[in-house]
Amino acid sequence: MQNRRQWLQSSLGIGGLLLAPSSLLTAQERELFRPRPLADLVRLSSNENPYGPSKKVQEAINTAFGHACRYPYQYSDALAEKLAKKHGVGPESIIITGGSTEGLKVSGLTFAHSGGEILAGQPTFLAMMTYAEQWGAKINWVPVNENKGYDLNSIAQRVNANTKMIFLCNPNNPTGTLLPARQLEDFCSSVSKKAIVFSDEAYYDFIETPDYPSMDALVRKGENVIVSKTFSKVYGLAGLRIGYLIAKPSIAAAIRKNVVAMSNVLAIAAADAALQDDAFYKFSLAKNKEAKDKIYTVLDYLKLPYVRSSTNFVFFHSKKDIRDLGPQMLEEGVRIGRPFPPFYDWCRISTGTLEEVDRFVDGMLKVYKG
């Protein structure tokens, strides 16, 4: 008796071939790039890199373990020097943080506490706004446009005397949208004269548009722009909690006073090694693209519209309430993204290993085709 996948392959022709099980990694790839093992419950809900830490990073962590008795300041300063050269700024413009999330939180706290306003798109990554609200900040939400991208014109029109910060997550989480480069540069350069612009670039490495600019270029020009970067995504270090901010010295000095967690010696060593592991970096990007293409294929087959993503996840129109779809997919062994109000009939699915994406494909076919 045929199972569901065998039946689909025999009945869908070319579509079945596209949905066929993915080829396995070689033994060398498994050793170097450390894919996570296939679990009974596949978690495709947090936009984690399913590969890594790489073998080179693991070796760096093992070596650094002998320094774990030391405070991290000296090691952090050395990493900041390397990051400063990478971004063309002075080391005083780099702030090492416990993941980029700490950078987002302390930036919102620093500039918008006690009644200051933050302008933000909706939906977007909430860490800055949720934390700032706890310290008395006010959030001015601007809905995304019909293409699920930021409406920069509406954001610009809402800037007022009380606006302390404009938050941009670009590419945006959860929608995966990317702002046009020229429009982004013009917007940031203009509104940063009125308030600080925070550019969250957690997913910058996944952008496939050639020569797409980082807003660190505006930092180098001395403008009121903060850029956040992370080692959690393409570098596969989400569990080690290390990221950093880039800002002109006066802004960086103000933020640095509120940094609490920083990072640790092992994470710093891991980040340093990850920056040098070009093979893992390229492997992660290539596998992410393969996984997205496979997700697109099943969504096309099911006629579920989606946003072409510049990240390591896909935001698609589920045509089911996400609060119903989530439990249904759990029964199939896949955890999908949480609800993102007001888009309760949209779903965010992270890319995983190709084996994990196969599990997602099977689950979607069962839920939608029975």
Q: Structural domains in the chain? A: 4-54+279-369 (3.90.1150.10), 69-276 (3.40.640.10)
Give the DSSP per-residue string, 253-301: HHHHTT------HHHHHHHHHHHH-HHHHHHHHHHHHHHHHHHHHHHHH
| Residue 61, C-beta contacts closer than 8 angstroms, at least 6 positions apart | 53, 266, 269, 270, 273
Q: What's the rounded Cα separation, in Å, for the pair 140 and 159?
A: 9
Positions of the chain with pLDDT under 50? 1-2, 7, 11, 13-14, 17
The SS3 call for residue 170 is: coil
pLDDT of residue 262: 81
pLDDT of residue 24: 82
Pick from 1, 32, 20, 27: nearest CA to 282? 32
In Å, what is the CA distance from 69 to each residue of 65, 72, 265, 266, 352?
Answer: 8, 9, 9, 11, 35
309 by Cβ neighbours in 10 Å (0-12 / 13-18 / 19+) ranks as: buried
Percentage helix, strand, coil for the chain under 3-state DSSP, each rounded to 5: 45, 15, 40
Percent of the chain with pLDDT over 90: 92
pLDDT of residue 261: 78
pTM: 0.93
